[in-house]
Amino acid sequence: MNDDTIALRAEGLYKVFGRHADEAVIQLHRGTPRDELPSGTTAAVIDASFEVRSGEIFVVMGLSGSGKSTLIRMLNGLHDATAGSVEVAGERITDIPAKRLREIRQKRISMVFQHFALLPHRTVLDNVAYGLEIQGMPLDERVARARKVTEIVGLKGWEEKHPAELSGGMQQRVGLARALAADTDVLLMDEAFSALDPLIRREMQDQLLELQAELGKTIIFITHDLNEAMYIGDRIAVMRDGRIVQIGSPEDILTNPANDYVEQFVQDVDRTKVLTAESVMRKPRAVVHVGAGPRAALTTMRDEQLAGAYVVNKDRTIVGWVRDRDVFDLVRRGEKDLAPVIQADHGAVATDTALADLFIPSLEAALPLGVLDGRSRLVGVIPRVTLLAALGGEPEAAATATPRPDPLPAEVVDKVLGAAVGARAAEPKEAV
């Protein structure tokens, strides 16, 4: 990873509240557990190191009191770090003069607060323009910019209202707009959506994802809601008692929890929203090339005991699927071309489809649900049993699951294949 792509780096960060903070850091460093520190000394963050890539949504997750707020407040210097360093865009912000720190806060890093922290005596527009005002932008310019951002977050027409006249969701939009207007690369969000009710929260999460895709901000997002973390996070850091216990992608954390704590933590996550088709799919077993004849297709289906198979081109891009009974008829009639019985409605899904969105297609598909990569190549299939097993948190169970019922009985197929062999030369077997 080279330095340009790293928006923020924290190294060996400690925050100890109370007296004798420096001694406590030394003790913690030597391995003294956090609760054996003298009373009156609270180690809120212990030895936190991580890097956040530019344009990434980095989520910090943990139970109440695990030190999330303390950590995020060190990233823009609202709390002084007791030890360790923070770099924003390659520049150290720990132990620098107050003036320089203020400049960095104006230009590089802004924040959205849990309880919105709007200025109640100012209008929405003036709130949004606040960061720009501090940057020293002239009035006309900042009003114009604030209007634009206010519109982006969907508050057009509310510019002249005061925060108290807005609902919670709208107030947080103002908070978000204020941070976006400041146009910093890094956005810190401390439980920004926790005070909102679930529906509004979902809406805000979607909006945040949209904005991020559009504007490419680097976002550090704190939450204690696992589903939220999984939904918006590119990578997640799990905190416990002041320490970061695991950093990884949502799927990593779900499928390979670093320890029992994380495992317990992720137990009640809604897997269907985190896991994607890619993470549960199996190798496709019954696939036939479009150029292979009916006999080859039927043989493949018989060998795999399947009632149908996907048909692909040579480069594995999908064409459609065939049913064993149709192919059976073709073989009986001695046809050489598979094309007449290929059905185009294969219903395959993309690799990044969330599990939650697989159920309906899976029910509608006659075969195990096909999974396509970005170039429409068939890269896997998801039998219904696999889908169910993944929900229970045991992807492995799916591997041993039995195939779908009802293929043609093997004797019947053999008879037909045998009869055909008797009549003409055997076709070369080309099934994949």
Partner 1 sequence: MDIRIPVGTWIKSFFDWLEDSFSWFFEGLREVLIWMFDAVDWVFATPPALVVIALVAFGALLARGWRFAVGSVVGLLFIMSVNQWDNAIDSLALVLVAAFLAVAISIPLGIWAARNDTVSKIVKPVMDFLQTLPAFVYLIPALALFRVGVAPGIIATLIFAMAPGVRLTELGIRGVDKEVVEAGQAFGAHPRRILRQIQIPLAMPSIMAGINQIIMLSLSMVVIAGLVGARGLGGDVAQAISALNVGLGFEAGLSVVVLAILLDRFTASFGKGLGLYSRWRKSYVAKKEAEEQARFDAEIIEVGGPRRSPGGGAG
Ligand X SMILES: Nc1ncnc2c1ncn2[C@@H]1O[C@H](COP(=O)(O)OP(=O)(O)OP(=O)(O)O)[C@@H](O)[C@H]1O
151 binds, among ligand X, partner 1, Mg ion, none (CB under 5 to 8 A by kind): none
64 binds, among Mg ion, ligand X, partner 1, none (CB under 5 to 8 A by kind): ligand X
261 binds ligand X (CB under 6 A): no
Q: Using CA atoms, how far apart are residues 250 and 264, in angstroms rounded to an integer?
A: 15
Residue 281: other Cβ atoms inside 10 A: 24
Nearer to partner 1, 63 or 119 (CB): 119
* Adjacent-strand bridge partners of 188: 111, 220
Residue 13 CB, shortest distance to ligand X, in Å, is: 12
- For residue 396, CA distances in Å to 101, 278, 281, 317, 385 come to 51, 14, 11, 28, 11
* H or E element in which residue 207 lies: helix 198-215
Q: Using CA atoms, how far apart are residues 376 and 320, in angstroms rounded to an integer?
A: 12
Task: Map 237-288 to HEC letters.
Answer: EEEECCEEEEEECHHHHHHCCCCHHHHHHHHHCCHHHHCEHHHHCECCCCEE
69 binds Mg ion (CB under 5 A): yes
Give me the residues that bind partner 1 (CB under 8 A), please. 73, 76, 78, 101-107, 110-111, 113-121, 130-131, 134-135, 157, 159-160, 178, 182, 188
Q: Using CA atoms, how far apart are residues 297 and 256, in angstroms rounded to an integer?
A: 39
Q: Using CA atoms, how far apart are residues 83 and 414, in angstroms rounded to an integer?
A: 75
Q: Which of 13, 9, 11 is nearest to 81 (CA)?
A: 13
Is the CB of residue 102 less than 8 Å from the CB of residue 36? no
Residue owning tokens 């802004």: 110
Residue 104 CB, shortest distance to partner 1, in Å, is: 8
Nearer to partner 1, 107 or 224 (CB): 107
Residue 17 CB, shortest distance to partner 1, in Å, is: 15
Residue 202 CB, shortest distance to ligand X, in Å, is: 20
Taking CB under 6 A as the criterion, the residue among 2, 39, 64, 402 binding ligand X is: 64
* Adjacent-strand bridge partners of 54: none
130 binds, among partner 1, ligand X, Mg ion, none (CB under 5 to 8 A by kind): partner 1
Residue 70 CB, shortest distance to partner 1, in Å, is: 13
65 binds ligand X (CB under 6 A): yes
Nearer to partner 1, 30 or 99 (CB): 99
Give every CB contact of residue 391 below 8 A, 6+ residues apart in sequence.
271, 272, 355
66 binds ligand X (CB under 6 A): yes
Residue 62 CB, shortest distance to ligand X, in Å, is: 6
393 binds, among ligand X, Mg ion, partner 1, none (CB under 5 to 8 A by kind): none
| DSSP one-letter code for 402 | P
Q: Using CA atoms, how far apart are residues 383 and 284, in angstroms rounded to an integer?
A: 10
Q: Position 4: which residue type?
A: D
Residue owning tokens 């149908």: 308
305 binds, among ligand X, partner 1, Mg ion, none (CB under 5 to 8 A by kind): none
65 binds, among partner 1, ligand X, Mg ion, none (CB under 5 to 8 A by kind): ligand X
Q: C-alpha angle 259/202/109, rounded to 5°?
A: 75
Taking CB under 6 A as the criterion, the residue among 11, 21, 42, 159 binding ligand X is: 42
Name the residue whose CB lies closest to Mg ion: 69
Contacting range for ligand X; rule: CB under 6 A; set: 58-66, 80-88, 244-252, 420-428 = 58-66
Nearer to partner 1, 134 or 426 (CB): 134
Contacting range for ligand X; rule: CB under 6 A; set: 61-69, 260-268, 355-363, 398-406 = 61-69
- Report the interface residues with Mg ion, using CB under 5 A: 69
Residues lying near ligand X in the complex (CB under 6 A): 17, 42, 44, 62, 64-70, 224
